Chains A and B, each alone.
Chain A
Amino acid sequence: MISRRHFLQAGMAASALYGASGFGNWGRLAAQQALTQNDLLDFQTSGNVTLMHITDIHAQLMPVHFREPEINIGVGDVIGKPPHVTGADFRKLYGIEDGSAADYALTYDDFTSLAQTYGRMGGADRISTVLKSIRADRPDALLLDGGDTWQGSLTALRTNGQDMVNIFNALGTDAMTSHWEFTLGIDRVMEIVENELNFPFLGANIFDTEWDERAFEPYKMFERGGVQIAVIGQAFPYMPIANPKWMFPELSFGVRQENMAEVVAEVRGKGAELVVLLSHNGFDVDRKLAANVDGIDIILTGHTHDALPEPVLVNKTYLIASGSHGKFVTRLDLDVRDGEMKGINHRLIPIFTDVIAPDPEMTALVDAQRAPFQSELTEVIGKTDSLLYRRGNFNGTWDDLICNALIDEREADIALSPGFRWGASVLPGADITREDIFNATAMSYPEAYRSEMTGETLHVILEDVADNLFNPDPYYQQGGDMVRVGGMGYRIDINKPQGERITEMTLLKTGELIDPAKTYVVAGWASVNEGTEGPPIWEVVENFIKREGTVTVDPNTSVKVVGA
């Protein structure tokens, strides 16, 4: 673990580099004190290059509540290291006071009450204000988007990502990389990339399956402050495995570590003095990549939705984690001289909706994207008595609700909901609007299937997904959190090899152990299989909530975790 003090020491020891990081004033402001926009934006402009990083916004143009995970287990070499630190341990590591604004923004405890105090976070119009303020100091600051931008809301779904393309063009984005973008289908992606995007769509690890040739630009060179900067893009490596391959059948991805080393050598050969990797690998994969590939100064991480108040130094590479859902923008001021990085000044800027003034131009543009769908978005479907959230390795109340809906509406014994990390939270006592439901379900393969599976098949599935999360080598981890299970409990020993992690699978309605030979009715959604049939999941969830009126999600105690 690198505390702030250690980060600074490590930084200096590594390359006589100077640096600063942390919260500024806002992190220490007590709940009763009013935060001001200045507290958030006050920053000593330094060096000659400024980078601004946004990632994993998941189409959230409007301010949201988003609860960070309680359970985020690290395995192998990363046990107990950021980002695998949550709650009180996280606050201790970064010196965050309980009940402070930083506590609310970065950890999970007391989320509901702190949300009353600090309000929503994000909003494209607030983000725009922050970017404009940074550009006032450093007009040529680069804005880099780590992807998962065009998916995650009703409007992005209905417009095939057009709303997000319009907004990110208007924000003045300089480059992006990708993951969920490809679930719009390859034809739509190419249409956007070729005709609509004002900036490059980078992916050094995207190749065509037939000839193994590059399918997208691997990097883009920029000159800023007299410095040659290479921004290399790395798309989500497990795209055809974790998401439906049939939507982009001619593309191959992968970590491709050797390829990355070659690209870094190529850009250095072209005179890059600063090498930035705009990555959708996920934090642990980036940590390993940084250890194994020399020559990358900065990795702007993505995919795993981690928000870290300080960079993590690996080898000579600084890993930056800028959160998700529009909650944060990272500002990095870099001092690059004589072909190398001499200084780094970092700030994870929280987008407190009530503190940062909206940029009226951007408000108008966001309103224009939403106008055609306004009545659909705002329709109240029901109410919740429980906090609805998704993040966490095993279960979240949103997915518990979705599983309850699947079991009920589709008359199943057991329900499966994928371990996605996206989805805004809904506070207890609040109305559930159709927009809220889509924020947790909007994607292009939503069919809620109903099928029969043997106990043995269910075990194989859970073991496979568990290994994709808890394999000690991050290059063998495939992406999401654990599949959420309704109607069935199990015990998981995360340190066992694949095939031995999952035991005590129990059918909750009878309390009986799952029989490997017996057949169970299973309902689920988001199958990666082409031709899956069933109603879209949002319809299933909406019908369930309508019928219940007010939903309550009981605490989930059906997963026993061992070895964490």
Chain B
Amino acid sequence: MKFTRRETMLMALGATAAAMLPARAMANVDDLVAAFTGGADIGEGGLTLTAPEIAENGNTVPIEVDAPGAVSIMVLATGNPTPGAATFNFGPLSGSQSASTRIRLAKTQNVLAVAKMADGSFVQVSQEVKVTIGGCGG
């Protein structure tokens, strides 16, 4: 029987290697963050990113961001060819400043969230999400 490369690796309990992030994509992440913050300093705290440690399906990974008092939250999949995943804007009447969506992850990578707070400051948080094809579960 014939297998695609993906099926072969599924079959053999294996998965994608953690390839190095291409330099271009990295530059792209920096550019996107700079465009979002206008080059301002970025702090930490007050922004929660909820994502699975290991994606059950790299094509649709549920994530949630929550930042009380934020006006905008940008989410980047830093290892994707196109890192921009979502930007959520919250108007003054928003009941809460949280949002959830599903994103596609090409491989194991950090998901980065940056929030713009009402006072114009910025905070960020990131989490590694492992994309593995798995097998071998004891």
Contacts and interface: CB of A to CB of B under 8 A. Distances in A.
Q: Do A and B come from the same complex?
A: yes
B62 to A, nearest CB: 7
A258 interface: yes
A422 B136 CA distance: 12
A449 B54 CA distance: 26
A81 B134 CA distance: 26
Contacts of A252: 56, 62
B58 to A, nearest CB: 10
Contacts of A526: 13, 135-136
Interface stretch (A14-22, A190-198, A241-249, A552-560): A241-249
B57 A479 contact: no
A368 B124 CA distance: 61
A314 to B, nearest CB: 19
A499 B136 contact: no
Interface string A173-214: 000000100000000000000000000000000000100100
B12 A522 contact: yes
Contacts of B1: 533
B59 to A, nearest CB: 12
A468 B132 contact: yes
B8 A453 contact: yes
A287 interface: no
Interface stretch (B14-22, B34-42, B81-89, B112-120): B14-22
Contacts of B54: 238, 241, 254, 475-476, 478
Nearest to B53: A475
Contacts of A245: 56-57
Contacts of B3: 451
A146 interface: no
Interface residues of B, number: 33
A554 B130 CA distance: 37
A528 B7 CA distance: 9
A480 B136 contact: yes
Contact of B137 (A212, A239, A476, A499): A239
B24 interface: no
Nearest to B7: A529
B18 A421 contact: no
A451 B50 CA distance: 39
A457 B9 contact: yes
Given A460-B14, A476-B130, A465 B136 contact: yes
A463 interface: yes
A532 interface: yes
A441 to B, nearest CB: 14
Contacts of B134: 238, 241-242, 468, 478, 528
Contacts of B52: 254
B11 A420 contact: no
A476 B13 CA distance: 16
B131 to A, nearest CB: 10
A194 to B, nearest CB: 24
B136 A242 contact: yes
Contacts of A479: 136-138
Contacts of B56: 209, 240-241, 245, 252-254
Given A457-B9, A524-B12, A527-B13, A418 B135 contact: yes
A303 interface: yes
Contacts of B133: 241, 464, 528
Given A212-B62, A416-B12, A457 B136 contact: no
B132 A524 contact: no
A418 B132 CA distance: 15
B32 interface: no
A419 interface: yes
A505 interface: no
A461 interface: yes
Interface in A461-492: 461-465, 467-468, 471, 473, 475-476, 478-481, 483
12 contacts: A241-B137, A242-B135, A418-B136, A451-B11, A451-B12, A462-B14, A465-B136, A478-B132, A497-B18, A498-B18, A499-B18, A532-B11
Interface of A: 179, 209, 212, 236, 238-243, 245, 252-255, 258, 303-305, 416, 418-422, 449, 451, 453, 457-465, 467-468, 471, 473, 475-476, 478-481, 483, 497-499, 522, 524, 526-529, 532-533
Given A243-B137, A245-B57, 17 more contacts: A179-B137, A240-B56, A241-B54, A245-B56, A258-B50, A453-B12, A457-B12, A458-B12, A464-B17, A476-B54, A478-B137, A479-B136, A479-B138, A498-B17, A527-B12, A528-B10, A532-B11
Interface of B: 1, 3, 5, 7-19, 50, 52-54, 56-57, 62, 108, 128, 130, 132-138
